[in-house]
Amino acid sequence: MISVIIPTFNEEKVIVDMLRNLKNGMRGIPHEIIVTDDQSSDHTVVLAKPYADRIIVGQGVYKRTIARNRNQGASAARGTYLAFIDADITISDPSVFFTRALADFTNNPKLVGLSGYIKVFPTLATTGDRFFHGLLNRFHYLMNNVFHRGRASGEFQMVRADMFKKLSGFRADIVASEDYEFFSRLAREGRTRIDPRLVVFQTGRRAHELGWPRLLARWFMNTLSVTFTHRSSSKEWETIR
């Protein structure tokens, strides 16, 4: 079974379309949909209830990180595989997508982590979106499939549940670049792979809000900081409304 885990924080604008697409598209594939909400102040939880098998809302006061949110979902998951997907992601045909993903794991017993190509919806994509996502997708392909160093975007990551548990999941104290850090640790335990046939579409909202130069600078600084100091340069989990 696949446990699909979606971390949310004030995602009422996108959560219904995302969950409806998954729920309708994964029929025939054993799965569960888990929404892990970080105390949203909007209607995210109410809107997610008709589509999610489980909703976990963070309790108490704690440092908000998307890593902590994902880990909460993983702790309640029952699947052999964990698929982490952001709330603004859409998969064109979830049944075909996850059938291919499962085949990747079945065909390679050493495979512990899997991701795909990230693109912006064609109707929303700018020239910058197409250019920079093209570069990032190829970079991730080389880092995983050729150099075996393990880098992948958090928009979609799929891992073996037993390996996730062995590594104690994402580092909850890292605010940004937690996805790179986790996939880097995965690559030391087995194979990680980017499958270009696995394409997920996102809204591109962060790049559109911040601009590509500013966004790339943040990614670069956070990646360097996590790599060499084991902590991110960003101090808070920033959300885009």
Is 217 a domain residue? Answer: yes
- Tell me, what CATH number does 161's domain have? 3.90.550.10
Give helix 212-229 / helix 127-141 axis angle, nearest 10°: 20
The answer to whether residues 86 and 9 touch, using CB atoms and an 8 Å cutoff, is no
Is 114 a domain residue? Answer: yes
Give the pLDDT confidence score for residue 20 in this predicted structure.
96
- pTM of this structure: 0.93
Q: Is the dihedral of CA 5, 229, 152, 147 positive or negative?
A: negative
How long a stretch of residues is the chain? Answer: 241
Give the pLDDT confidence score for residue 110 in this predicted structure.
97
The answer to whether residues 139 and 146 touch, using CB atoms and an 8 Å cutoff, is no
Q: Per residue in 72-126, pLDDT tens? A: 999 999 999 999 999 999 999 999 999 999 999 999 999 999 999 999 999 999 9
Is 147 a domain residue? Answer: yes
* Residue 161 belongs to domain spanning: 2-229
Is 186 a domain residue? Answer: yes
Give the pLDDT confidence score for residue 241 in this predicted structure.
46
How many structural domains are present in the chain? 1
What parts of the chain have a pLDDT lower than 70? 60-63, 235-241
